[in-house]
C-alpha cells in the first residue's frame, strides 16, 4: 500500500512538473522556428495543405544585418509564437544550392530579403533589410491581407495577360511588380512602346521608370524607358526619392552588361560602353570603357581578349599615372570631403568623424591599385603562360609600392597580394624569392590577428612546404 502511494506521488509530481513546463512554453512562446530545406516544392505542398503563407528569409553568410535579425529579432518569443503558428518559415542561403535560382527568380538584390509566397509560389509580399519586431509584424499582416486582395500579383497577372494592350492595366501591373521589387526591365520598354515617349514623360510614368532604375530596384536596362529618363532629367526634382542621372544609367548598364555576358553579345557590350557619355569618369574608374570590357571577357572566359585589353589598360593608362599626380588627386578629394563634413557639422569634427575622414586620404591611388590587382588576380585564373610572369611581377611590384602610401588601408590587402606575388615568382622559376615572399605573406596574415584567418594560415603554410 505504501509502495503504491509513493508511486502515485512520484507520478503526480512528474505530471505536475511536465504541466508547469508546458505551461511555461505556451505562456512565453518560442523563437521563430526555421526550416532550412531549400527545396521550394516541398514547402509549396505544405502551404497548399495548411493554407499558410510561406515566409522565406533570404540571407548570405557575409550579411551583417542578416545576423542581427537572427540574434535580435527572430529570437523574440512573441514574434516566434505568431510566425510559428501562422507561417511556414524557411531560411535559404541566396548564394548556395537552390538558393541561387530562387534569388534570381524573385529578383533578390540585397540582404536580408523576406519573401512571402502562396502555395503556387506566387510572390504575395516582399520586404528587405534589418527591421525591429513591430515593423516585421506589420509586414506579416500586410502579406496576409494581400493574399486575398483583388489587386494582388496573381489576379493582376491574369488580367494583364488577357489584355496586354490596355495601358491602364499595364501601369497597375507594373506598379504592383515594382512594389514587390521584381525585374521589370523588359516590361518597362514594352510599356513605353505602348504609350509612346510623350506619354511616358508625364510625371506618374516618369516616377515609375525612375523607381525601377534606382539603386535599390536595379530593374531597368538600356532602352526606351531609360532614354525617356535621361532626356527628362530636369524633372527629377518633382519625383519622390529621385536619384541622380549617373545612378540610373549605371544601374541600367549593369543589367545590360549581365545580359551581354549571359548571351555572349559583344554588340550589347559596346552599347553598354556607349552610355558612358552620360557619366563623369576618370581613366581608372571601374566603369571606364576598358574596365567594362575586362569584366566582360573575364566573365565569358576569353583569355586572349582579356589579356590584350588588360595590357592596354595597365601599360597605356594606369601605370602611366605618376605617383605625384595621384597624390594631388587624392588631396583634392580629401579636401572636398573634409569641407563637406565640416559644413554639415556646427562643431569641430569629433574623433570618430576624423577617423572616417582618414579613409579618404588616398581614394584615387586606391582606385588605381584596385585596377592593377584585379588584372593580376584574374590573369592568373586565365591559363597564364610562363613568358607572361615577368610582366605580371612588374605590375605587382608597382602595386606594392602604391600600398606603401597607406599602410592602414592596405593592412588587410597586403597578405593576399604578397601571396599572389609569391605564386607568380614561383611560376617564373624564382623559387627562393617566392619562398621569401610567401613567408612575408604568412607573417602579414598572422599580424592581422583574425581568428577567421587560422585556416588560411594553415593552407599557406602547406603551400610553403610544397615550394
Range 325-340 average pLDDT: 90
Cα gap 442→457, rounded to integer Å: 6
Instruction: Report, as an integer, the average pLDDT of 202-225.
Output: 95
pLDDT for residue 66 is more than 50? yes
Q: Are 173 and 160 in contact (CB under 8 A)?
A: yes
Q: How is 94-106 classified by DSSP, letter by letter?
A: TTSTTHHHHHHHT
| DSSP at 74 | T
Going from the C-alpha of 29 to that of each of 18, 90, 136, 164, 335, the distances in angstroms are 16, 19, 17, 48, 55
Contacts of range 238-247, beta carbons closer than 8 Å, 24 or more positions apart: 238/203, 239/203, 239/206, 239/207, 239/210, 240/207, 241/211, 241/214, 242/210, 243/210, 243/213, 243/214, 243/215, 245/278, 246/278, 246/279, 246/280, 247/213, 247/214, 247/215
Using a pLDDT cut of 70, give the percent of the chain over it.
Answer: 94
> Cα torsion at 110, 112, 113, 117 (round to 10°)?
150
Q: What pLDDT was estimated at residue 353?
A: 87
pLDDT (tens digit, 9 = 90+) per residue, 254-275? 999 999 999 999 999 999 999 9
According to DSSP, the residues that pair with 56 across neighbouring strands are: 90, 115
Pairing type for strands 87-93 and 123-128 reads unpaired
* Half-sphere exposure (Cβ direction) of 100: Cα atoms closer than 13 Å: 3
pLDDT at residue 286 is higher than 90: no
> In the structure, how many helices (H) and strands (E) does the chain have?
24, 4
Distance CA 172, CA 177 (A): 9
What rounded mean pLDDT belongs to the chain?
A: 90
Q: Which helix (H) or strand (E) holds 55?
A: strand 53-59
- pLDDT at residue 78 above 80? yes
Residue appearing with cell numbers 516544392: 41
Contact by Cβ (8 Å): 252, 188: no
Cα–Cα distance, 465 to 453 (Å, whole number)? 18
Say if CB 238 and CB 204 are below 8 A apart. no
Q: Cα dist. 260→63, 95, 313, 423 in Å?
A: 28, 22, 21, 33
Task: Give me the residue spans of the domains in the chain.
Answer: 40-149, 155-278, 316-465
Helix residue ranges, H only, 180-302: 185-195, 197-200, 203-213, 224-231, 245-263, 266-274, 289-299
Cis bond upstream, residue 112 (ω within 30): yes
pLDDT in tens, 120-168: 999 999 999 999 999 999 999 999 999 889 889 999 999 999 999 999 9
Q: How far apart are CA 123 and CA 120, in angstroms?
A: 9
Chain center to CA of 199: 34
At residue 377, does pLDDT exceed 50?
Answer: yes
Confidence of residue 358 (pLDDT cuts 50, 70, 90): confident
Asked if residue 102 lies in contact with residue 37, where contact means CB atoms within 8 angstroms, the answer is no
What CA dihedral angle connects 386, 387, 392 and 395, to 10 degrees?
160
Element (H, E) at 215: none
Pairwise CA distance, residues 137 & 134, whole Å: 5
> Looking at the domain 316-465, which fold is it?
1.25.40
**Per-residue pLDDT averaged across 352-377, rounded?**
89
The whole-angstrom separation of Cα 182 and Cα 217 is: 8
Judge whether 153 and 140 are in contact, CB under 8 Å: no
**Is 97 in contact with 129 (CB distance < 8 Å)?**
no
Phi, psi of 16, rounded to the nearest 5 degrees: -65, -45
Measured at the CA of 369, the angle between CA 366 and CA 375, to 5 degrees, comes to 140
Q: Quick count: other Cβ atoms within 10 Å of Cβ 87?
A: 20
CA atoms of 74 and 136, how far apart (whole Å)? 10
Q: How far apart are CA 330 and CA 357, in angstroms?
A: 12
- The pLDDT of residue 27 is 36
Kindly tell me if the per-residue pLDDT of 14 is higher than 50. no
**186-209: per-residue pLDDT in tens?**
999 999 999 999 999 999 999 999
E strands, 143-254, where?
A: none
pLDDT(441) > 80:
yes
Write the class of the CATH domain 40-149: alpha beta
Percent above pLDDT 90 for the chain: 74
- Give the pLDDT mean for 274-279: 96
- Helix H or strand E segment including 66: helix 64-68
Q: Model confidence at 345, in pLDDT bands (50, 70, 90)? A: confident
Amino acid at each position: 500500500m505504501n509502495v503504491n502511494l509513493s508511486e502515485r506521488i512520484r507520478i503526480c509530481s512528474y505530471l505536475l512538473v511536465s504541466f508547469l513546463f508546458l505551461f511555461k512554453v505556451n505562456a512565453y512562446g518560442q523563437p521563430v522556428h526555421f526550416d532550412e530545406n531549400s527545396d521550394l516544392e516541398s514547402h509549396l505542398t505544405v502551404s497548399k495543405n495548411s493554407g499558410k503563407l510561406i515566409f522565406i528569409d533570404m540571407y548570405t553568410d557575409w550579411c551583417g544585418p542578416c545576423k542581427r535579425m537572427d540574434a535580435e529579432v527572430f529570437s523574440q518569443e512573441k514574434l516566434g509564437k505568431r510566425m510559428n503558428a501562422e507561417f511556414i518559415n524557411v531560411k535559404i542561403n541566396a548564394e548556395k544550392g537552390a538558393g541561387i535560382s530562387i534569388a534570381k527568380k524573385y529578383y533578390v538584390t540585397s540582404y536580408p530579403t523576406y519573401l512571402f509566397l502562396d502555395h503556387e509560389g506566387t510572390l504575395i509580399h516582399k520586404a528587405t533589410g534589418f527591421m525591429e519586431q513591430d515593423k516585421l509584424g506589420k509586414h506579416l499582416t500586410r502579406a496576409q491581407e494581400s493574399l486575398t486582395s483583388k489587386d494582388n500579383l496573381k489576379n493582376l497577372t491574369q488580367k494583364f495577360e488577357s489584355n496586354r494592350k490596355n495601358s491602364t492595366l499595364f501601369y497597375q501591373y507594373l506598379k504592383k511588380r515594382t512594389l514587390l521589387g521584381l525585374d521589370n526591365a523588359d516590361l518597362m520598354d514594352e510599356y513605353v512602346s505602348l504609350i509612346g515617349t510623350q506619354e511616358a514623360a508625364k510625371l506618374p510614368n516618369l516616377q515609375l521608370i525612375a523607381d525601377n532604375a534606382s539603386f535599390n530596384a536595379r530593374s531597368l536596362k538600356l532602352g526606351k524607358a531609360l532614354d525617356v529618363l535621361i532626356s527628362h532629367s530636369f524633372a527629377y526634382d518633382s519625383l519622390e526619392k529621385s536619384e541622380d542621372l549617373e545612378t540610373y544609367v549605371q544601374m541600367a548598364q549593369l543589367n545590360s552588361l549581365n545580359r551581354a555576358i549571359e548571351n555572349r553579345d559583344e554588340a550589347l557590350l559596346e552599347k553598354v560602353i556607349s552610355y558612358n557619355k552620360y557619366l563623369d569618369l576618370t581613366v581608372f574608374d571601374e566603369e571606364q570603357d576598358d574596365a567594362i570590357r575586362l569584366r566582360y571577357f573575364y566573365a565569358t572566359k576569353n583569355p586572349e581578349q582579356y589579356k590584350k585589353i588588360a595590357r592596354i589598360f595597365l601599360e597605356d593608362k594606369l601605370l602611366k599615372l605618376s605617383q605625384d599626380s595621384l597624390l594631388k588627386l587624392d588631396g583634392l578629394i580629401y579636401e572636398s570631403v573634409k569641407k563637406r563634413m565640416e559644413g554639415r557639422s556646427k562643431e569641430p569634427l569629433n574623433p570618430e568623424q576624423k577617423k572616417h575622414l582618414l579613409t579618404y586620404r588616398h581614394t584615387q591611388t586606391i582606385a588605381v591599385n584596385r585596377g592593377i590587382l584585379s588584372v593580376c588576380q584574374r590573369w592568373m585564373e586565365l591559363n597564364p603562360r610562363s613568358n607572361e610572369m615577368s610582366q605580371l611581377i612588374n605590375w605587382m611590384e608597382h602595386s606594392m609600392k602604391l600600398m606603401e602610401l597607406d599602410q592602414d588601408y592596405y593592412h588587410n590587402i597586403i597578405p593576399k597580394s604578397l601571396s599572389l606575388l609569391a605564386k607568380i615568382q614561383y611560376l617564373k622559376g624564382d623559387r627562393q624569392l617566392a619562398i621569401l615572399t610567401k613567408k612575408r605573406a604568412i607573417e602579414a596574415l598572422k599580424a592581422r590577428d583574425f581568428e577567421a584567418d587560422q585556416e588560411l594560415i594553415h593552407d599557406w603554410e602547406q603551400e610553403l612546404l610544397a615550394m
